[in-house]
Structure 1
Amino acid sequence: MPHTPNANADAHGALPPSPLPDMDACRILGVYSMSRRTRTGQGTTSQGHDQKTYWFVRRSPEGEYFVQALNANSIPSGPVTPVPKGAFLAEYQPESGYYEKRCLPYIESLKKKIAQADRHLAEGDLDAAEKEFLKALLLDEKHPKANIALGDIALRQGNGKKLAAALRRIFDIDTLFLEQERHLFNEFAISLRKDKKFAEAVAFYAKALERNDADEHLHFNIARAMAESGDAAGAMGQLEKALALRPDFSQAQSFLAHLRAGVPPDEADLPLPDITALGEIPS
């Protein structure tokens, strides 16, 4: 199995998590390998083994290098990790033709399945869309969009068992809770809240806050879910955190004032949008 870079600076120089650039603006460098010498056994039975892992590599317009592990189907999957230039040049070796011959066929197949699923969704055919998204997961079990879409389909179908299964998968995918994927889970969390699945919505935002506690929008959104679930005290605590990060956050100021006055969220005559880094989403 591919080895994923540690979030903290590790043996191969991976940097701590940070906001990533637009990956579409990065240049694809192809697949590179990294070799490690490992030992098994002890004493006279100790043996050395060379472990070779493969990585999909992109370079930003600013010259930063980003690596992503390949899954069993040679598809880039999971977290995208920045690597210092010096460590990259010293430790990664290009694998000529690997990307074109091994990766692209599977990547194109995955794209076709996602596109077909999207067409079924646009037509309102949830069952057909579900089948295509499940096919996509056979190629990339951590695909953010496919997993979120399956959760949303289960929610719309009212299928609690499928929704629970989707939620378990989603919570195992740290990539979803990083900056570049946040709009995906935020839309799903909004749907959960509107469907009165408050515990699930709160859990989503709490997971995201583990990755980025300095996002006032996340504190605002989790406050909405908490307030609507009846946890006014928890909601006020989250709003206070949002305002500590951004004192001029007008929606948070108004919402907090109403909660302190004992006005329930559904009776507060307030514009309360769900807010993300991409902008406001009307309720």
Structure 2
Amino acid sequence: MSGELTNARKKLAGVSSLLKQKKAMPAVQAVYDAVVIMLRGSLMKSEREEFQELLDSTVHILNGDKKLREDYPLIINYTHGEEKVLMEVLRELLKELQEKVSANAQGILKAMEKRKKDSLEQGQALIEKGDVPEAHFMFNQLIRDFKDDTELRAEIADKFIKAGLYKEALSYLEDALAHDPNAIFLYNRIGIVLRKMQDFATAEKYYLKALQINDKDEYLFFNCGRLYYDWKKWDKMAEAAKKAIKINPNFAEAEKMLKFANKKIG
């Protein structure tokens, strides 16, 4: 037990430093853990009295912390011998602090999402005005701020796709794929862009790579079939349609694709 008591003393001794670092929750958690150790142990009278004095001074430190008082305005009362009561108060305080941290995190997340949405809309407006370089500048700044957001890169690419700026869209999609090589939707999206650019051979490579990752997606086969339609590769178009229908026998558009391909094959 002496080892645990030493640990508890260290926890109490570190509370002041944690508060100075604006780490209120770890500070309160340290006091709570120390009280648990005290209640769990069989302390001699002198040890208990020493521990109670330490708790006295530590609770005083908690009550004197301005930032903690802002988050939890109630005074923490402690009477020797009522450590269980103190433990419940500390548990309630930890709950309050956790809720505040969660609320702050949600607020930050909402603000970040709003900034992202606003910047995407502003970039879209710049593209519509024909100011593509400025749109690139804004989007690239957004990517620097949200560097791990693959979806964001795809959303930016969509803005350029809608404007018929396929080369610009391809750049963002390839960047997104570099960050998430297993994102099938990116292979599909790149395939669509390359198809519109009439780079059929490269588009096929991306579709085939996507199908290596997931060969149970009827829409992936269907989009591959659309590539072969543009490329006028009727045999491959028919094969892609058959595979889409095999996965989903009720896929009406794939049925139409197969009939069209077979008609072309003769």
- TM-score, reference length from structure 1: 0.45
Q: Which has the higher helix share?
A: 2
Q: Higher relative CO (CA 8 A, sep ≥ 6), structure 1 or 2?
A: 1
Q: Which has the higher strand share?
A: 1
In our comparison, the structure showing a higher alpha carbon Rg is 2
